Amino acid sequence: MRRLGVFLLALALALPASAQFTMAECYEGGVITNRFGETMPMRLWRHYKPADRPVPVVVLLHGSGECGQDNSAPLRAFGAMHNTILLDDELPPALYVIPQCTRGNPWVRAIAFKPDYRQPRYPAPALRTVKEFLDQLVAEGTADPDRLYIGGFSLGGFGTWDAIQRWPNTFAAAVPVCGGGSVEAAAITNAATTSIWAFHGSKDPAVPVDCSRRMVAALNQTGVAVKYTEYPGAGHPIWDRAFADSAMWRWLFRQRRGKVEEAEGGGSMLGDFFRQLKSYVTPE
């Protein structure tokens, strides 16, 4: 029994000190205020020291189930990624931002379910507010403009696609999970300025897997090789699996604005849609 106690003590001492803190303890509550004086709840994790600035900034957009103003539901949705980030010594210091939108003011004005979806002329007010906040972080010297990253799931996945299609050459990398966007030529050209790793479940009953497949296919037709992981047989709630993937986080932080990284073995245009899926769907 004594040996077990000594072993547990040694294990606790071996773990990083930050690993002992919960997500709620790491992410402090805050408010984003846009130029119109409108406010949005957010959670902010300053996982860096002042001397590290400017730092990478990761924006994480929640799904429709986390909409509201309680400033806590989005934290629970991204809980699976927390220990992955804490325990990976290869990840750099960074600022993590989890904003919260409402059902009346979601990340996008319309959901891109169908192939003929056309991106609205103006961004949803909630997404515009997040973009203004990022611009502010860059202007004050907190954020590195070459290392802005965005990701999200479900509603947030659609918001992620919308952001990189609306503001080209802004984000170094994006991780849209079970989302979709516009396949219009201009929108795809804009998205091609960002390194992308998309995720989807092949049996998603809420967001058809074709939403991600057609985005990847359209980008590949421009000569950009997008990383795409499709979980065979998986349904809608795959975000825990995607955001807890340490390989994804290491890939994300390697990206720099203006330097789109091709997928492993990529670089060439794929001949047809099914050939593309064979190359980019990750088997179990």
For residue 86, the model assigns a pLDDT of: 86
Domain boundaries, the chain: 23-280
Mean pLDDT of the chain: 88
Give yes or no for residue 190 having a pLDDT over 60. yes
pLDDT range class, residue 20, cuts 50, 70, 90:
low
For residue 80, the model assigns a pLDDT of: 86
For residue 274, the model assigns a pLDDT of: 38
Give yes or no for residue 205 having a pLDDT over 80. yes
**Residue 201 identity (one-letter amino acid):** G
Give yes or no for residue 12 having a pLDDT over 90. no
Report the DSSP pairing between strands 94-99 and 55-61: parallel
In the predicted model, what is the mean pLDDT of residues 242-259?
Answer: 96
For residue 93, the model assigns a pLDDT of: 97
Show the tokens assigned to 130. Answer: 């997040």
pLDDT range class, residue 87, cuts 50, 70, 90:
confident
Q: Can you say how many angstroms the Cα of residue 108 is from the centroid of all Cα atoms in its chain?
A: 15
pTM above threshold 0.95: no
How would you classify residue 223: left for phi > 0, otherwise alpha for psi between -120 and 50, otherwise beta? left
Residues 6+ apart with CB under 8 A from 216: 198, 226, 228, 276, 280
In the predicted model, what is the mean pLDDT of residues 87-91?
Answer: 90
For residue 261, the model assigns a pLDDT of: 64
Query: Each residue of 256-269: pLDDT tens digit?
Result: 998 886 544 433 33
Residues 6+ apart with CB under 8 A from 169: 193, 257, 258
- 13 or 241, greater pLDDT: 241
For residue 3, the model assigns a pLDDT of: 52
Give yes or no for residue 27 having a pLDDT over 70. yes
List the CATH code of the domain at 23-280.
3.40.50.1820
SS3 of 142, please?
Answer: coil
Report the DSSP pairing between strands 94-99 and 39-47: antiparallel
Show the tokens assigned to 188. Answer: 């795809």
Measured distance CA(149)–CA(130) in Å, rounded: 12
For residue 22, the model assigns a pLDDT of: 86
Give yes or no for residue 97 having a pLDDT over 60. yes
Give yes or no for residue 280 having a pLDDT over 60. no
- 162 or 20, greater pLDDT: 162
DSSP letter (8 states) at residue 190:
H
DSSP letter (8 states) at residue 259:
B
SS3 of 62, please?
Answer: coil
Give yes or no for residue 191 having a pLDDT over 80. yes
